[in-house]
Amino acid sequence: MALAPHLDGVRVLDFSTVGPGARCARILADYGAELVKVGAPLRSGVQREPPFHSYGANRGMKRIRIDLKSSAGREAFLRLADDADVILESFRPGVMRRLGVGFEDVRARNPRIVFCSTSGYGQSGPYSQWAGHDINYLALGGYLDCSSPRADGGPPLPGATMADIAAGGMQAAIAILAALLRAQRSGEGEYLDVSVADGVLFTTSLWIDQYLATGERPGPGHDVLTGRYAWYDCYRARDGKWLAVGAIEAPFFANLCKALGLDKWIAHQEEDAVQEAMRADFRRVFATRDRDDWVRELAPANTCVAPVYSVPELAEDPHFAERKVFCEATHPAHGRFRQVGPVFAGGDRERGDHVALAYAHSDAESLLGDAGFTAEEIEELRKEGAVA
């Protein structure tokens, strides 16, 4: 018998459009929450439609547009919030409160509400009003400084928005799930102040804790994971493609050395003085064969070697295909396309009929009807421009 989705019956009103809030919304929706995207009314020349495929194409979600600057719009939102379990927002700190739809306004009507605010630097502190994006939070939290530098000596640009995804979106999802569990037991909701910059500290906590405990300054090349040793690095193969080597444990390192004909290094794994010579040998040997030849030999042989894939390569990888990490969705304007599916443990990887949400789509009539609005009231709200 198929199990009900984990968050079946949980309604989330989501004000986010991009960044950590949108990542969090995707997670909650993939676990079965009823996710309602709440946006501002469309105004010509003001809003740009994001790429249709962004954030899972908002598959399985609903949408309503509400003008929170109008009294009728605020009241419509608050009536929707009466039956909501979660409100997720990513405005600048203080905006929701000034609009009259902040945590205290909602809690006065719905004491079990979980109200999650995601922001770059948190709701308090001297940086709380700063504008920022992923790279700024990674910079402040030490992530960039501990990463291997570019050729010009500067910090690298990460290949994914790690702050938005892990430090923000996942943090928000975890906090919301914990708060929902608490609310289920106590009947009381709570306010969650999710700071992406705070979350970055968790991603770099190994190095921050090292410094706080010992006074040692972390940085590129200071440790196993930041480039100190030859056996935790990337190497170019004969065909110009790259391999990632992570042979940390001694048995794996020994297996790697034997497979490469470099037995001489087995007894010297952590000797700093020989790392550059070892690295030069690894470069030389790996350059003698194509990447996939090496992968076929080394990956199954307990050497901790993997290919550095491009996105087109990983999209056709047989392992990911068997794991069913990709799904298909249908967009009303763009047709059927592939995308990353519900990949987290417990997500429904079997479903093949995902429906993407068009940017102009609206579920206002059904959502407001469920909240007790009459057809006449809904029509009046539409005429006023309070909802769409």
**21/383 Cα distance (integer angstroms):** 30
Q: Are 52 and 374 in contact (CB under 8 A)?
A: no
Q: What are phi and psi of 67, to 5 degrees?
A: -90, 100
| Closest by Cα among 44, 91, 64 to 360 | 64
In DSSP terms, which residues pair with 116 in a beta bridge?
Answer: 88, 192
In DSSP terms, which residues pair with 263 in a beta bridge?
Answer: none
**288/196 Cα distance (integer angstroms):** 44
Q: Is 164 a catalytic residue?
A: yes
DSSP three-state, residue 116: strand
Burial class (CB in 10 A: 0-12, 13-18, 19+), 303: buried
**295/291 Cα distance (integer angstroms):** 6
**368/378 Cα distance (integer angstroms):** 7
Sheet holding 242-246, edge to edge: 232-236, 242-246, 305-307
| Closest by Cα among 192, 22, 171, 17 to 107 | 192
| Closest by Cα among 254, 255, 138, 149 to 202 | 138
Q: Are 107 and 176 in contact (CB under 8 A)?
A: no
**148/332 Cα distance (integer angstroms):** 44
Sheet holding 11-14, edge to edge: 62-65, 34-39, 11-14, 86-89, 114-119, 190-195
User: Max alpha carbon distance in the chain (Å)?
Assistant: 83
**123/218 Cα distance (integer angstroms):** 29
Catalytic residue, candidates 14, 164, 198, 281: 164
Catalytic residue, candidates 6, 133, 222, 268: 133
User: Which residues participate in catalysis according to the annotation?
Assistant: 133, 164
